[in-house]
Structure 1
Amino acid sequence: MVLSRFWLVIFISSIVFIVVSLFTANTYTIDSVINGKKDDPILVSEKYIHELPAFIKDSIQKAPDQTMIINHDTLNADTTYVFKNKTVKIFSGLQKSDGLLPTCKSTLVDLILPLIAYLAFFCGLMELLIISGASGKLAKVLSPVFVKVFPSIPKNHPSISYMTLNFAANFLGLDSAATPFGLKAMESLQEINPDKDKASDAQIMFMCLHASGLTLIATSIIGYRAAANATNPADVMLPCIITSFIGTIAAFLIVGVKQKINFKSASLVIVLMGLIAAIVGLLMYVNHLDLIGKNYFTSNLSGLILIAIIAFTLIFSFKHEKKFTEANTTVFETFVVGANNGVKTGVTIFPYVLGMLVAISLFRNSGLFEIISDAIAFVFSNMGVSKEITNALPVAMLRPFSSAGSRGFLIDSMNTFGADSLTARLSSIFQCSAESTFYVIAVYFGSVNIKNTRYALGTMLLVDLICVITAIFVATWFF
């Protein structure tokens, strides 16, 4: 219910703002909102050529293509005058994101189709783990811990192994594998959900832990910083880990208090201390490496882990081929069945993702997001917050809505302020310390047709805020 109302507020407020801007002459045309593409020049005015200043009119008429570009601001797109059909179209600035119709197309072509391919492959592997008995063994080993965190899940339930693989994939930055494992976990949890339209306690806990974004190897962030010629592309790795770890602990505590979980459990304390020790140990190892060593380690660890998971699944399935025979199937046929289920899941979640991304597209292109962002930056600046920090806030604000959008702001901050600036480094931490909340909710709850997400959205947004505050403190501490 909360998600539905929030979606309606974003949609309706954006539409109202677009219409009002058009009729108050603040916007010349709304075609870009409907048909425009990201980074296209924005049409801001159209005039007859005799209405322009003489020097502009003469320059346009003398230009071979009857186009003139004026550099008003080196940080923004040039103002361009294009003479065609007796009028001069004036363009200035670039569109922040795709318009409504291009968003519909890109959601299917650039997002859902690749996602379906990932789902097909990894759901095929998951089916092998199920039939071979590997998932059951993993669930049995981890049950003593998971029954404390998820008391409503029966002991040795298959969802335990799916959630474990999801957390592990997120931890290692394997986004393409994390989503299929997570969707399989949600489907498994839905089987034991007494109210199919309402999110269960276990589903909410899983979603909030997943969305907190605990990441060990921020491979993509390191790649962006390397492309921007950062002195040490991996220097944000430790701040990213600290920020996302605090976000994960915050998510566990907030949801745990709500669900009255026993935090004094010895198994929980042991696992938490073991996780902290593992992170510290790995950080100490990475810290003693030189720049080339760090780049080599961070770029290969995640890939090696993924290859190891695939190899283990296939080898374990081959060793237990008898179980496939008993189930009247083969290893390959089982993979195909799982892949087919993955395709069906991808088709199911498409409308949910489409509805959310179109609303976000309108929100950004309407100009409403920038007004809110500028207002928050203004408030922070008057509170004495450094301009280097306020310049990074657009990344933090857009991250819950759109990973691609916040990534655009991240890259822009590195190009504008320099990859080694506090703004760029803080933007990097913002980008890797949490998930795209609204996208995650649309995908995961949509995959099992959950209509009432209860307090999941509020908790996830609160965790996002905690990550933002933590990132600011950590970045100023480190850099």
Structure 2
Amino acid sequence: MVLSRFWLVIFIASITFVIFSLFAGNSYTIDHILNGKKDDPVLISEKYLNEIPEFIQDSIVKNDEKTFIINRDTLNPDTTYVYKNKTVKVYSGVQKTDGLLPTCKMTLFDIILPLMAYLAFFCGLMELLIISGASEILARKLSPVFAKVFPTVPKNHESISYMTLNFAANFLGLDSAATPFGLKAMQSLQEINPEKDKASDAQIMFMCLHAAGLTLIPTSIIGYRAAQNAENPADVMLPCIITSFIGTIAAMIIVGIKQKINFKSATLLVALMTVVAAIVGLLFYINGLDLVGKNFFTSNLSGLMLVVIIGFTLLFAFLKEKKFVEKETTVFDAFVVGANNGIQTGVKIFPYVLGMLVAISFFRNSGLFDIISNGLSFVFSNIGVSKQITDSLPVAMLRPFSSGGSRGFMIDSMSTFGPDSLTGRLSCIFQCSAETTFYVIAVYFGSVNIKNTRYTLATMLLVDLICVITAIFVATWFFS
């Protein structure tokens, strides 16, 4: 219900603002909102040739292409005059994201189809884990810990193994594997959900922990920083780990208080201390490497772990081939059945993802997001917050809505202020330590047709805010 109302508010507010801007003369056209593509120039006015300054008229007439560009610099948008069909069209700035119709196309071809391919492969592997008994063994080993955090999940339930694989994939920065594991976990939890259209306590806890996104190796962030010629591309790794770890603990505590979970369990404390010890130990090891060693380690750890997971699954299935015979199938046929289930899941979540991304596209291109973002930056700057911090806030604000949009702001902040500036580094930490909240809710709850998400959205946004505040303190401590 909350998500539905929020979706309606975004759409209605954006449409109202667009219509008002058009009739108030603040914008010339709304075509870019419907049909424009990211980074296209935005048409701001159209005039007759004799209505523009004479020096521009002369430049257009002398130019073979009948165009003239002024303000050609890297920090400000160009203003371009194009003479065609007896009028001069004036363009200024570029579009922040795809319009409504290109977003519909992009959602299918750039998000859903690749996601369906990932789902097909990893759901095929998970079918092997189920039939071979590997998921049951993993669930049995971890049940004592998960029983404390997910008290409503039966002991040794298969969802435990799927949640574990999802957390492990997030931990290692394996986004392509994390989503299929997470969707399988949601579907497994849905089987024991007494109210099928309402999120269960276990599903809410899983979603919030997933959204906190505890990450050990922020591979993509390091790659973007290396591309921007950062002096040490991996120097944000420790701040990212600290911020995402605090976000994960915050999510566990907030949801745990709501669900009246007992956190005084010795088993739970031992598990948390083990995770902390593993993180600290690995960081000590990485810090002992030289720059080349760090780059090699961070580049290969995630990929190596994914290969190990795939190899283990196939080898274990081969060793337990008798169980497949008992089910009157083969290892390959079982993989195909699981892959087919993954494709069906992708088809099911497509409308949910489409509806959310189109609303976000409209929100951004309407100009309403920029006004809110600039307003918050102005407020923060006037209460004494450093300009280096306020310059990075657009990444934090956009991250819950759009991963691609916030990534664009992150790259722009590194290009504008430098990858080794506080703004550039803080933008990277924002991007790494938060989740695309609205997209994740649409995908995960959409996959199991849950309409009432209860307090999930509010909790995930609160965790996002905690991560933002933590990131600011950690980045200031490390890099100021």
Runs of 4+ more than 4 Å apart = none
CA contact (8 A) 1:349 1:447 kept: yes
Note the alpha carbon deviations across 1:42-76, whole angstroms, 9 max, x for none: 00000000001110001000001000000166412
Q: Secondary structure at the match of 1:196?
A: coil
Q: Secondary structure at the match of 2:384?
A: coil
CA contact (8 A) 1:214 1:434 kept: no
After superposition, where does 1:31-430 map in structure 2 within 5 Å?
A: 31-71=31-71, 74-430=74-430
Letter in 2 for 1:403: S
Note the alpha carbon deviations across 1:80-115, whole angstroms, 9 max, x for none: 000000000000000000000000000000000000
Q: Distance in 1 between matches of 2:90 and 2:3?
A: 40
Unaligned runs of 5+ in 1: none
Q: Distance in 1 between matches of 2:118 and 2:285?
A: 32
Q: Secondary structure at the match of 2:45?
A: strand
CA contact (8 A) 1:199 1:454 kept: yes
Q: Secondary structure at the match of 1:156?
A: coil
Q: Secondary structure at the match of 1:234?
A: helix
Note the alpha carbon deviations across 1:346-393, whole angstroms, 9 max, x for none: 000000000000000000000000000001000100011110000000
Letter in 1 for 2:6: F
Note the alpha carbon deviations across 1:321-342, whole angstroms, 9 max, x for none: 0000000000000000000000
Which residue pairs with 2:457 in the alignment?
457
Letter in 2 for 1:151: P
CA contact (8 A) 1:172 1:215 kept: yes
Letter in 2 for 1:458: A
Unaligned runs of 5+ in 2: none
Q: Secondary structure at the match of 2:47?
A: strand
Give the paired residue count. Answer: 479
Q: Distance in 1 between matches of 2:260 and 2:362?
A: 40
What TM-score comes out, normalization by structure 2 length?
Answer: 0.99
CA contact (8 A) 1:99 1:362 kept: yes
Letter in 2 for 1:254: I
Q: Distance in 2 between matches of 1:52 and 1:72?
A: 19
Note the alpha carbon deviations across 1:216-251, whole angstroms, 9 max, x for none: 000000000000000000000000000000000000
Letter in 2 for 1:293: G
What TM-score comes out, normalization by structure 1 length?
Answer: 1.00
Letter in 1 for 2:312: F
Q: Secondary structure at the match of 1:360?
A: helix
Which residue pairs with 1:14 in the alignment?
14
Q: Distance in 2 between matches of 1:384 and 1:68?
A: 42
Q: Distance in 1 between matches of 2:344 and 2:201?
A: 26
Q: Secondary structure at the match of 1:173?
A: coil
Give the drift of 1:290.
Answer: 1.1
Which residue pairs with 1:26 in the alignment?
26
Letter in 2 for 1:443: V
Give the drift of 1:196.
Answer: 0.3
Q: Distance in 1 between matches of 2:412 and 2:369?
A: 17
Q: Secondary structure at the match of 1:155?
A: coil
Q: Secondary structure at the match of 2:89?
A: strand
Q: Secondary structure at the match of 1:42?
A: strand
Q: Distance in 2 between matches of 1:81 and 1:56?
A: 8
Letter in 1 for 2:394: P
Note the alpha carbon deviations across 1:117-138, whole angstroms, 9 max, x for none: 0000000000000000000000
Which residue pairs with 1:467 in the alignment?
467
Give the drift of 1:77.
Answer: 2.1
State the percentage of identical aligned residues: 79
Q: Distance in 1 between matches of 2:203 and 2:113?
A: 26
Q: Distance in 1 between matches of 2:53 and 2:180?
A: 59
Which residue pairs with 2:431 in the alignment?
431
CA RMSD, 1 decimal = 0.6
Q: Distance in 2 between matches of 1:441 and 1:109?
A: 20
CA contact (8 A) 1:79 1:91 kept: yes
